[in-house]
Amino acid sequence: MIQFPQWGCFFDFHTMPSCPQVGENFDVGQFIKELKSANIDFIVFPARCNLGMAYYNTRKGIRHPSLEYDLFGRILEACRQAGIRCSAYLNVGLSHEEGLRHRDWLTTWPDGSAYKGDRMNNFFRRMCYNSPYADHFCSMLQELTDEYAPDGFFFDCATINPCIGCECIREMKERGIDWQNEKAVFEFARLSRDRFCQRIANQIKQANPNALLYFNGLTFQQQADLGNYLEFEALGRAIYESLPVKAHYARKLNKPVLNMIGRFHKSWADFGGICSADALEYFLGYGLANTMRCTVGDHFHPRGDIQKPVFDLIRTVYGKLQRFSDCYQDAEAVTEFALLTPEYAFDYSTLDGQKALFALWGAAQMFDQMHLLYDVITPDMDFSAYRVLVLLDETRIDPQTAERIKEFLQNGGKVFCCGQGGLALGSEQMLLPLPVQCQGTSPCNPAYISVKAEVCPEFPEMPVTLYHQGMSYRAQPGAEILASIIKPMVEHGWDGEHGNYYTPPDKENGDAAVIESDNGILFSHPLFQTYRECSQPCFLQLTKTLLKRLLPESILEIRNFPGYCRTTLTRQKNRLHLHLMNFHPESPSPSVVLVEPPGVLTGIEVRLNMQDKTPTRIYWADTGKELPWQKTDRQIQFEIDRLQGYQVLTIEFV
């Protein structure tokens, strides 16, 4: 049986071939001491890096020219003696020194070049999976499994590399693939990548069925049958947008999920950059609150110098989070909303995937700010556990999915559809039982929304801009229009004489912006993409109001808790855990997210709608200190008098 890690550390070791003194200062005893002091139970360390340099005694690959001993072997053995598992890192798609020496192993791009893009970008030189490189790579794997038997493997940069080298051209011709068609070549490259990863996985599983196995570069769904755990990694602003989505999605895939947060300030390989303890605690805590596990990304110094401040940072943050270790074991998320997105939202290689992902980022940001309990799901997943399905801006559906949603509605569920959500693939037909008619893309550029005052009193009593083009919907019998579309006086664009930049609102054009019916609510425009790009506060308030109409009584209601704070609810047998995060992240530059030292919040009011359940006690998970509470009807009510940083409150039942 595979034992999956909880507290990890991931070491990059991409070392230029010209670097001298590799491993010269390394003290493996001190290294293990630092790991143990933070209760780290798992590390990843390179056996071969993206430069193509090996750090073990290889007969197949290229050991770094200035490394005079078996570094990987020494670390692996020391970890075994200390009870710390160690996975070997190998880069699949990049191996610069090997590509330099074996140019026939490189991808030949469709324009005939072997080098593509900026030479200071690591991805300018990529390997072809159909060349002799594939056999060479697998021979190195054989060395490692036979002679070292690491606890697992982390395969990085499993990229899609469109290639017209002779091996690829010949196979495309054999398969009847048009090798002159860019899209066809890309799809063949995807097939080649997937096939190579399958070969790697088969080889590892045959050598050690219990080895930890992960492929970075494949979507989580693409490696459903390959690896046995999942890993999220990001840095900078990407963490802020990507982590909520991946955390709420990956937990639905029935695998342990590691949340890798780099210790860096700006980017990978930022040797002199170090993030704040508050930032690391916030992002790792967010993952733990959403049933993920922890790992911290670092970059090992070529000489083996131990960066004491980095280990101090990890030890400090892990020490804070490990106070709640008992709350994380086998915990499950409590949710009532599901953000339904097409699976291709996780494939950033396509334009459609990017648009769907942007909608997902905006939706996750909104739901976090509203403190709602949600999952991210794809159409193949079960809907029955939720009370409201949110069909995002790009979530068109097929007839089979439509039938499953109809069954969900018949069982008392509700839908909230935005933009194209609920429309058929390839047509403008609404497949869900909503009394609306879609007339195609909205003719208004821009469109404005006018909301009835009684629907959302906080919404401005004026036409408000809908910044993205939406769909044109008309209400049918059985529907109530909650908001209308206002057309512009002139359409935005060049008319042959003037650039129509000034486009004030005019009057209603007959289209509905928000339509309510017995089964749910439809919003005509891409609400979540708009919020992701523009963050209009009135749209957040309107969305909250509309969702409240669909679900008047939610499980968790929390007041005096600002939108920048985060909360989740997890379940363990007879206990619930309320995770509370009072941090304030901000992005002062395009590539960096800063997290300020947390202030103190007071007077937070919490209401839990628990039906017939009555707790035996409510207490802080780290100290055991109990909170007074009362129950009114089906609501458990209590007040938190002080919150700073990340805390967990436990609600215990008989």
Per-residue pLDDT of 51-103, as tens digits, reads 999 999 999 999 999 999 999 999 999 999 999 999 999 999 999 999 999 99
How many residues would you count in the chain? 654
Nearby residues of 475 by Cβ (< 8 Å), 6 or more positions away: 435, 436, 481, 512, 515
**Strands 499-500 and 493-494: what pairing?**
antiparallel
| Nearest alpha-carbon partner for 373 in 128, 577, 169 | 577
Percent composition of the chain: helix, strand, coil (DSSP 3-state, to 5): 30, 30, 40
Instruction: Report the alpha-carbon distance of residue 202 to residue 216 in Å, rounded.
Output: 17
pLDDT confidence band for 350 (50 / 70 / 90): confident
Q: Which residue shows structure tokens 């890993």?
A: 231
For the cut 80, the answer to whether the pLDDT of residue 588 exceeds it is no
Nearby residues of 495 by Cβ (< 8 Å), 6 or more positions away: none
pLDDT tens profile 155-190 = 999 999 999 999 999 999 999 999 999 999 999 999
pLDDT confidence band for 122 (50 / 70 / 90): confident
Helix (H) or strand (E) holding 204: helix 182-207
Helix (H) or strand (E) holding 4: none
Instruction: Find out whether 182 and 190 touch, Cβ atoms under 8 Å.
Output: no
Reduced to 3 states (helix: H, G, I; strand: E, B; else coil), residue 640 is strand
Q: Which residue shows structure tokens 């690591």?
A: 122
Tokens of 127: 């390997």
pLDDT score for 3: 81
Q: Which residue ranges form the domains of the chain, and what is each CATH number?
A: 335-550 (3.40.50.880), 556-653 (2.60.40.1180)
Instruction: Find out whether 10 and 298 touch, Cβ atoms under 8 Å.
Output: yes
What phi and psi, each to the nearest 5 degrees, are found at residue 339? Answer: -90, 110
Reduced to 3 states (helix: H, G, I; strand: E, B; else coil), residue 5 is coil
Instruction: Find out whether 44 and 11 touch, Cβ atoms under 8 Å.
Output: yes
For the cut 90, the answer to whether the pLDDT of residue 1 exceeds it is no
Mean pLDDT of the chain: 95
Q: Which residue shows structure tokens 């992240």?
A: 585
pLDDT tens profile 468-479 = 999 999 999 999
Angle between helix axes 277-289 and 237-250 (nearest 10 degrees) is 20
pLDDT score for 213: 97
Instruction: Find out whether 637 and 630 touch, Cβ atoms under 8 Å.
Output: yes
Instruction: Report the alpha-carbon distance of residue 654 to residue 651 in Å, rounded.
Output: 10
Instruction: Report the alpha-carbon distance of residue 534 to residue 611 in Å, rounded.
Output: 38
pLDDT score for 589: 74
- What would the mean pLDDT of 112-124 be, rounded to a whole number? 89
Share above pLDDT 90 across residues of the chain, in percent, rounded to a whole number: 88
Share above pLDDT 70 across residues of the chain, in percent, rounded to a whole number: 100
- What would the mean pLDDT of 309-316 be, rounded to a whole number? 96
pLDDT confidence band for 352 (50 / 70 / 90): confident
Instruction: Find out whether 92 and 160 touch, Cβ atoms under 8 Å.
Output: no
pLDDT score for 172: 98
pLDDT score for 90: 98
For the cut 90, the answer to whether the pLDDT of residue 633 exceeds it is no
What phi and psi, each to the nearest 5 degrees, are found at residue 518? Answer: -60, -35
- What would the mean pLDDT of 375-380 be, rounded to a whole number? 96
Instruction: Report the alpha-carbon distance of residue 426 to residue 423 in Å, rounded.
Output: 9
Helix (H) or strand (E) holding 604: strand 604-609
Instruction: List b or e across 169-188, with b for residues whose CB sees 16 or more CB atoms inside 10 angstroms.
Output: beebeeeebebeeeebbbeb
- What would the mean pLDDT of 297-315 be, rounded to a whole number? 95
Peptide bond into 446 cis (omega under 30): yes
Tokens of 273: 């950059």
pLDDT score for 181: 96
Peptide bond into 477 cis (omega under 30): no
Instruction: Report the alpha-carbon distance of residue 270 to residue 600 in Å, rounded.
Output: 32
pLDDT confidence band for 444 (50 / 70 / 90): very high
Tokens of 390: 């949110």
